């Protein structure tokens, strides 16, 4: 099985601070990491490889420093990395063209795996867009993946129902966070990964024609959340009574 995993470098959303006057998020200086659910995608790829053999290539569209993040993925078990630095105004459409172009250039793939969405933007567009550009079947929200000789069988989690779907190769699959627990690489694996190749391709190497964004970000607004933050500290009975009095006063007990 030749597998391509699409992994995005994102800001660690749990580390984002909010500017107290503008209520806007402060994005500079926030640590970067690989989007959590993309790690689930890589873990699934590694499990498939362990059972059926093959090769795993990870593709990241991001800034040059994303190379450090790709090393972590190679340590986890990917065989090769590809980094493509996008043009400045890259929207969902531009990135999907680059990813699809890079996957075609890698070639000979059976499965493309990615997370159901990235944890920063959470748009969930990338998988289906790339599948559309490659004109291959898509299986989204997979909560398990079973690889067979000439087909893959997967169960999709749609919240109110589970749909089992099978597809021939090649196929693109997006996974949920529940599908597995991504492994932590050992020190030996981290050391060994330094000999694995990371290819740096330019956007024009992989995507022909003009890469024009279809969406422009006009603003990143803050989300003012005004909460009273009244914390009761006395002995427990008093706390409970004060809370109940307050709730009655603001009119939510009726």
Partner 1 sequence: MVLVYSDDKKLTLELLNKGKELAKELHKKVIAVCIGHDSFAKDYLEHGADSVIAAEADLHTFKAEEYASILEKIVKENNVEVVLIGSNKNGKELAARLSAKLDTGCVTDCTNVYVKDKKIVTERMVYSGNAIAVEQFLSHPQIVTIPPKAFNPLPKTEGHKGEVIKKKYDFERSPSKITKVQEMKTEGVNVEDAEIIVSCGRGFKNKDDIRLVRELADALKGRTIGCSRPIAADLKWLSEDHWIGLSGHKVKPKLYIACGISGQIQHIAGMRDSGVVVAINKDPEALIFKSADYGIVGDLYQVLPKLTNAIREKMG
122-141 residues in contact with partner 1 (CB under 8 A) are 122-133, 137-141
By beta-carbon proximity to partner 1, the closer residue of 141 and 201 is 141
Element (H, E) at 173: strand 171-175
Which residue in the set 55, 105, 177, 183 belongs to the binding site for partner 1 (CB under 8 A)?
177
3-state SS, 121-141, equals CCCCCHHHHHHHHHCCCEEEE
Cβ neighbours for 208, distance < 8 A, ≥ 6 positions apart: 101
Map residues 98-117 to x or -, x wherever contact with partner 1 holds by CB under 8 A: --------------------
Which residue in the set 51, 65, 158, 202 belongs to the binding site for partner 1 (CB under 8 A)?
158
Q: Which stretch binds partner 1 (CB under 8 A): 67-75, 107-115, 119-127, 190-198?
A: 119-127
By beta-carbon proximity to partner 1, the closer residue of 184 and 243 is 243
Element (H, E) at 102: helix 92-106
Ranges within 32-61 binding partner 1 (CB under 8 A): none
Query: With contacts defined by CB under 8 A, how many residues of the chain interact with partner 1?
Result: 82
Helix, strand or coil, per DSSP, at residue 12: coil
Which residue in the set 1, 32, 80, 165 belongs to the binding site for partner 1 (CB under 8 A)?
165
How far apart CA 169 and CA 116 sit, in angstroms, is 19
Supply the DSSP symbol for 14.
Answer: G
Map residues 211-240 to x or -, x wherever contact with partner 1 holds by CB under 8 A: -xxxxxxxxxxxx-x-xxxxxxx--xx-xx
By beta-carbon proximity to partner 1, the closer residue of 52 and 232 is 232
Task: Give the nearest distance from C-beta 120 to partner 1 in angstroms.
Answer: 6
By beta-carbon proximity to partner 1, the closer residue of 84 and 136 is 136
Ranges within 13-32 binding partner 1 (CB under 8 A): 13-14, 16, 18, 24-25
Map residues 77-96 to x or -, x wherever contact with partner 1 holds by CB under 8 A: --------------xxx--x
By beta-carbon proximity to partner 1, the closer residue of 80 and 246 is 246
Cβ neighbours for 79, distance < 8 A, ≥ 6 positions apart: 55, 56, 57, 196
Task: Answer left, alpha or beta for residue 37, where phi above 0 means left and psi between -120 and 50 means alpha.
Answer: alpha
DSSP string, 175-206: E-GGG--PPPPPHHHHHHGGGS-EEEEEHHHH
Q: Are 104 and 67 in contact (CB under 8 A)?
A: no
Task: Give the nearest distance from C-beta 92 to partner 1 in angstroms.
Answer: 7
Strand partners, 173: 113, 139
Q: Are 67 and 88 in contact (CB under 8 A)?
A: no
> In the numeric block, which tokens belong to residue 62?
């991001």
Q: Are 8 and 122 in contact (CB under 8 A)?
A: no
Q: Which stretch binds partner 1 (CB under 8 A): 49-57, 65-73, 104-112, 158-166?
A: 158-166
By beta-carbon proximity to partner 1, the closer residue of 122 and 202 is 122
Task: Give the nearest distance from C-beta 99 to partner 1 in angstroms.
Answer: 11
């Amino acid at each position: 099985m030749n597998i391509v995993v699409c992994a995005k470098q994102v800001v660690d959303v749990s580390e984002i601070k909010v500017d107290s006057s503008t209520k806007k998020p402060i994005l500079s200086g926030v640590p970067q990491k690989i989007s959590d659910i993309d790690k689930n995608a890589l873990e699934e790829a590694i499990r498939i490889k362990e059972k059926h053999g093959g090769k795993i290539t990870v593709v990241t569209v991001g800034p040059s420093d994303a190379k450090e993040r790709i090393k972590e993925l190679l340590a986890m078990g990917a065989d090769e990395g590809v980094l493509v630095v996008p043009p400045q105004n890259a929207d969902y459409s531009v990135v999907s063209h680059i990813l699809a172009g890079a996957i075609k250039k890698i070639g000979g793939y059976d499965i493309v795996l990615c997370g159901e969405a990235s944890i920063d933007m959470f748009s969930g567009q990338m998988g289906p867009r790339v599948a559309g550009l490659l004109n291959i079947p898509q299986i989204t929200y997979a909560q398990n993946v079973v690889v067979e000789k000439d087909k893959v069988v997967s169960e999709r989690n749609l919240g109110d129902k589970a749909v089992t779907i099978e597809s021939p190769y090649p196929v693109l699959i997006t996974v949920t966070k529940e599908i597995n627990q991504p492994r932590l690489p050992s020190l030996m694996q981290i050391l060994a990964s330094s000999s694995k190749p990371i290819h740096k391709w330019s956007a024009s190497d992989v995507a022909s024609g003009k890469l024009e964004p279809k969406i422009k970000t006009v603003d990143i607004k803050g989300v003012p959340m005004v909460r009273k933050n009244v914390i009761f500290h006395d002995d427990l009975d008093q706390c409970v009574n004060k809370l109940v009095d307050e709730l009655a006063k603001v009119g939510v007990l009726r």
